[in-house]
Amino acid sequence: MSGPRHLVSIDDLSLAEIRELFERAQEFARDPRAWASLCPGLISASLFYEPSTRTRLSFESAMLRLGGGVVTAADMSQSSASKGESLADTVRVVGGSYSDIIVLRHPSEGAARLAASYSSVPVINAGDGSHEHPTQTLCDLYNLWVEHGRIEGIDVVLAGDLRYSRTIHSFAYALARFGANIICVPQAGFEMPEYVLQRLREEFGVEPQRADATRLGSLAAASDAMYLTPQKPHQLSLFTDARGWQVDRVDAVYMTRPQTERHGAGESTSEYLRLGKRAMAEESLRDAVVMHPLPRRDEISEEMDGDPRSIYFKQAARGVPIRMAILGTLLGRLDSNAESGAAPVQRYPVKIGDNPCPNSTCISHTETRHVSPSYQLASRSPLRAHCAWCSQELPFTHVACTSTGHYHLASAPCLRRVRPDHLVFMRDEGQARELGFEPPQRAARTCP
């Protein structure tokens, strides 16, 4: 028995499937009013545990354009959730009788994966906390694809607050996966975090290079620009010298607002980047489209609104055809020729000890009744593991093996041979002893 197909993460889709969605979306966009015979009689339920009006309207407009119907709970935190109904119970009720597909927005990271595991109908993740928002990422990619006819090999500037913007991190992974080159132009003090660079390195072979961004002019004047290209380092070394990668011509500038709600004390953005006609007058930016996930504040000057390179309003509007393609596909109303799914991810349940996830808003902490803590391995050497729900890295100093009953320093080479499902992650040595594990030298059995 195979359950319904969900969209929890963009990694649930193969590159071929994503390209197919783009082609569908382009067909829909040509005449959005011509598709009402695709999903008549089908109902989409918007379950929004935090308000996000633009995302919700975009999904609902897409469903109505396909001839389907919509039921909406625009603020679930005011209704059943406040009476204590769990997310798992809600999706079983809503998916069973009220609707044929669920669009879920939730403040807890991992909520969409939980909903998918209990739902009898497809679940679309419309944002789970600061984790993922796959349809937003697909919409951004789709815009590049429409504007440039391809994504592979294009040069995209990511500018502004690269530290706290979830949108930017998801977008960077997706760009690397498609083989685009990324030029980071961060606001000073808001550089791309190390864990994002690490994942780009581990999954896509991206080695950060210093970039010589003089040709970007004032856009990059106050910034240490960095060049990220999904190639192997030995290829890169052929092209770079001490000045760093020469940024020549750019295909897109993706601007983000300062994520002030996530900034700590002393993190000021009073001198935030501002993109205007003068900055965009550089020859290197002549053909660069200007993108922004909206809402904007002052980071893109209004004088840019009439510039043909500014596509940020179009960018939002294109969310409707791409969501039509996603809804139609998951509802089984569009045939697919693409090879489905990306590589399946192995997830292992935590068998001993507390939930090791350090993220207090993770669904594994907020809905403990229905979620069993679990992990996935990010790397064997050095050993790194993530919460399988929210993807946060697990902090640990020692690691035990359930079959031998002893523990090791996290850096111990013998851990590489321990079966992934036998690993137990400990925040310190004391916890290892509390749980009854022994240091290796006193253990009766030797390392596997």
Where on the chain is the footprint of Zn ion (CB under 5 A)? 357, 359, 362, 364, 387, 389-390, 401, 404, 447
Catalytic residue check, 314: no
Which of 133, 292, 318, 406 is an active site residue? 133
Q: Which is nearer to Zn ion, 325 or 390 (CB)?
A: 390
CB of 214 to Zn ion, least distance (A): 42
Other C-beta atoms closer than 10 Å to the C-beta of 158 total 26
Give the count of beta carbons closer than 10 Å to the beta carbon of residue 98. 13
* Among 83, 234, 369, 442, the one annotated catalytic: 83
180 versus 401: smaller Cβ distance to Zn ion: 401
CB of 440 to Zn ion, least distance (A): 6
CB closer to Zn ion, 32 vs 439: 439
Q: Give me the catalytic one of 24, 55, 199, 318.
A: 55
Closest to Zn ion by CB, 385 or 387: 387
54 is catalytic: yes
Residue placing its CB nearer to Zn ion in the complex, 9 or 181: 9
The nearest distance, CB 308 to Zn ion, in angstroms, is 44
Q: Whose Cβ is closer to Zn ion: residue 304's or residue 387's?
A: 387
What SS3 string covers the chain? CCCCCCECCHHHCCHHHHHHHHHHHHHHHHCHHHCCCCCCCCEEEEEECCCCHHHHHHHHHHHHHCCCEEEEECCHHHCHHHHCCCHHHHHHHHHHHHCCEEEEEECCCCHHHHHHHHCCCCEEEEEECCCCCHHHHHHHHHHHHHHHCCCCCCEEEEEECCCCCHHHHHHHHHHHHHCCEEEEEECCCCCCCHHHHHHHHHHHCCEEEEEECHHHHHHHCCCCCEEEECCCHHHHCCCCCCCCEECCCCCEEEECCCCHHHCCCCCCCCCCCCECCCHHHCHHHCCCEEECCCCCCCCECHHHCCCCCECHHHHHHCHHHHHHHHHHHHCCCCCCCCCCCCCCCCCEECCCCCCCCCCCCCHHHHCCCCCCCEEEEEEECCEEEEECCCCCECCCCEEEECCCCEEEECCCHHHHHCCHHHEEEECCHHHHHHCCCECHHHCCCCCC
Instruction: Give min distance, CB of 353 to Zn ion, in A.
Output: 15
Smallest gap from Cβ 111 to Zn ion, in A, equals: 11
The one catalytic residue among 105, 131, 323, 406: 105
- First-to-last alpha carbon distance for the chain, in angstroms, is 37
105 is catalytic: yes
* Closer residue to Zn ion in complex, CB, 329/364: 364
33 is catalytic: no
Shortest distance, position 356 Cβ to Zn ion, whole Å: 9
Q: How far is the CB of 113 from Zn ion (least distance, A)?
A: 10
Contact in structure between 336 and 312 (CB atoms under 8 Å): no
User: Catalytic site residues?
Assistant: 54-55, 83, 105, 133
